[in-house]
Amino acid sequence: MNGFWIAMAGVGVAALLTGIGSSIGVGIPARAAAGVLSEQPERFGRTFILVVLPSTQGFYGFIAAMFMMMKLGMFSGSVNFDMEVLEGIRYLMAALPVAILGLVSAIHQSLVCTSGVELAAKQPEATMRVVIFAVMVETYAILGFVTSFLMINAIG
């Protein structure tokens, strides 16, 4: 295996793990929201933001993967298929902060958001306060994204 395919593994890891985290992260509060909306359909607006918040981690991973693909020359036609193994490992390592923090934070953010959905059923005026808690979890996904971005930018 040469470095190019290791770098491509990094591209895949960035998109895959954050996508898994966001898929799980959206599904958990969505189930709770469906229960609330079955009896209180007017709460859709209050529950919607809480359902979609964990989807952002998937976007961070996708953007990081696209940036890596650009750096690898995949869009300009200048791909180096004979890349050194060490350079490929650099891409793989650069993908890990966004991938791992995106996966974990999306799932934990969904748990906070699920509590907010449950709160929306009982005290709709307090729902937006929970968004602040959910955004605090998001901060770590953003830090992972920025770290990966800086690491990718530093490669060759």
Structural domains in the chain plus CATH codes? 3-154 (1.20.120.610)
What single string gives the DSSP state of each residue in 1-21?
--HHHHHHHHHHHHHHHHHHH
- Give the C-alpha distances (Å, rounded to integers) separating 87 from 50, 75, 156: 40, 19, 8
> Which pLDDT score is estimated for 104?
97
> Which pLDDT score is estimated for 71?
95
- Give the C-alpha distances (Å, rounded to integers) separating 80 from 5, 75, 76, 134, 150: 10, 12, 11, 41, 21
> Which pLDDT score is estimated for 79?
86
Helix-strand-coil percent breakdown of the chain, rounded to 5?
90, 0, 10
> Which pLDDT score is estimated for 46?
87
CA 60, distance to chain mean position in Å, is 5
Mean pLDDT by 10 residues, the chain (156 residues): 92 98 97 93 91 96 97 90 93 98 97 93 86 94 97 91
> Which pLDDT score is estimated for 25?
97
- Note the pTM of the prediction, 2 decimals: 0.91
